[in-house]
């Protein structure tokens, strides 16, 4: 069964001891059901280390040895968490356009926006270091991992402000 043209692409990331190769049976099963699935290798260690890899995919920067993945503003992931069951997460990439007590609005590629709730459990990383919601500014580029719950508004679990791209200087 072939995926529908323009259908979403499901990107699978492995667990701590896995690799893209260990995900092959899952990819094959999903493709047999008509779902365009791909597996990618992720850096080992803390889950936050995978965020730049997913951000690169959102920006359309697939590695040379991987099939291109259409750029888009959001990746959705379902995770079976011990003690919590299956939970859905979104990974959004864009620019902060509004910050209020309890919410964060991000403008994404293509002109869409997403508003996420924030609370005292929202973790923030800025330039590779721990930060707080108060350290965020309108105009910051962000990658946000949010839990999608029954309330309809995703709750930001992790907000990452990537380090600024190095600027080149000419002598």
**pLDDT tens digits for range 15-74:** 666 788 887 887 887 778 777 777 777 777 666 667 677 666 655 555 544 554 444 556
Tell me the DSSP string of 8-77: -EEEEE--TT--TGGGHHHHHHHHHTT-EEEEE---SSSGGGGHHHHHHHHTT---TTS------SEEEE
Q: Are 138 and 108 in contact (CB under 8 A)?
A: no
Signed CA dihedral, 97, 55, 73, 145: sign only:
negative
Q: Which residue has the higher pLDDT, 28 or 123?
A: 123
pLDDT-based confidence at 89, cuts 50/70/90?
confident
In this prediction, residues 135-150 reach a mean pLDDT of: 87
Cα separation, 61 vs 70, whole angstroms: 9
Q: What is the pLDDT of residue 70?
A: 47
pLDDT band at 105 (very low <50, low <70, confident <90, very high): very high
Q: If you average pLDDT over residues 104-114, what whole number do you get?
A: 86
Sign of CA dihedral 82, 83, 88, 90: negative
Supply the mean pLDDT for the chain: 76
Helix, strand and coil percent figures for the chain, each rounded to 5: 20, 40, 45
Total count of residues recorded for the chain: 171
Predicted local confidence at residue 71, as pLDDT: 45
Strand, helix or coil for residue 110: helix
pLDDT given for residue 38 in this prediction: 78
What are the chain's domains? 9-72 (no CATH), 86-161 (2.40.50.320)
Highest mean pLDDT among 37-51, 61-75, 129-143, 154-168: 129-143
Q: In this structure, how many other beta carbons lie within 10 angstroms of the beta carbon of residue 25?
A: 9
């Amino acid at each position: 069964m072939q995926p529908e043209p323009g259908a979403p692409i499901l990107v699978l990331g492995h667990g701590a001891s896995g690799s893209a190769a260990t995900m092959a049976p899952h990819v094959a099963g999903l493709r047999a059901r008509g779902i365009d699935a791909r597996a990618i290798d992720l850096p080992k260690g803390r889950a936050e280390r995978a965020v730049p890899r997913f951000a690169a995919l959102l920006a359309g920067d697939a590695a040379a040895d991987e099939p291109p993945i259409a750029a888009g503003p959001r990746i959705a992931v379902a995770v079976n968490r011990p003690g919590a069951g299956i939970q859905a997460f979104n990974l959004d990439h864009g620019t902060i356009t509004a910050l209020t007590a309890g919410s964060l609005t991000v403008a994404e590629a293509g002109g869409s926006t997403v508003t996420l709730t924030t609370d005292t459990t929202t973790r923030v990383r800025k330039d590779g270091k721990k930060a707080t919601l108060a350290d965020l500014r309108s105009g910051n580029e962000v990658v946000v991992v949010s839990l999608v719950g029954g309330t309809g508004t995703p709750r930001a679990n992790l907000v990452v402000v990537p380090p600024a791209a190095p600027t080149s200087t000419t002598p």
